[in-house]
Amino acid sequence: MSCTIEKALADAKALVERLRDHDDAAESLIEQTTALNKRVEAMKQELQAHIDQITEMAAVMKKAIEIDEQQGCKEQERIFQLEQENKGLREILQITRESFLNLRKDDVSENTSLSALVTNSDLSLRKS
């Protein structure tokens, strides 16, 4: 029996040693898992920071597009106003030219008439 008790004690010691080895391996795995979880969490936070930056950039770009479109509309409106003003000024210029040409014709006609009168009266005075 003593062989059996010694054998049982040796087996128990071997089991305790194996349990310690398994416990150390489990502790190591827990530490590795904890470290891995920390790294994963850090990567998630970094990813979230990138997502936040991209979201912010997208919002800024959207606002810039809106402002650009508003500016484009304002510029289009201003161009339209200037074109209308230009058209009106051209019409006024045309009317002014036509009026000026008509006045010139009238002046030329009057000058011709006056010239004839002056010439006729000058001749009359010379004859007398």
Q: Could you report the per-residue pLDDT of 6-52, keeping only the tens digit for each?
A: 899 999 999 999 999 999 999 999 999 999 999 999 999 999 999 99
Please give the Cα distance from 27 to 25 (Å, whole number). Answer: 5
pLDDT value of residue 101: 85
- CA max distance for the chain: 184
**Dihedral class, residue 60 (left if φ above 0, else alpha if ψ from -120 to 50, else beta):** alpha
In whole angstroms, give the CA distance from residue 73 to residue 79. 10
Query: How many residues can be counted in the chain?
Result: 128
Mean predicted confidence (pLDDT) in 85-100: 92
How many angstroms separate the first and last alpha carbons of the chain? 184
Residue that wins the pLDDT comparison between 29 and 71: 29
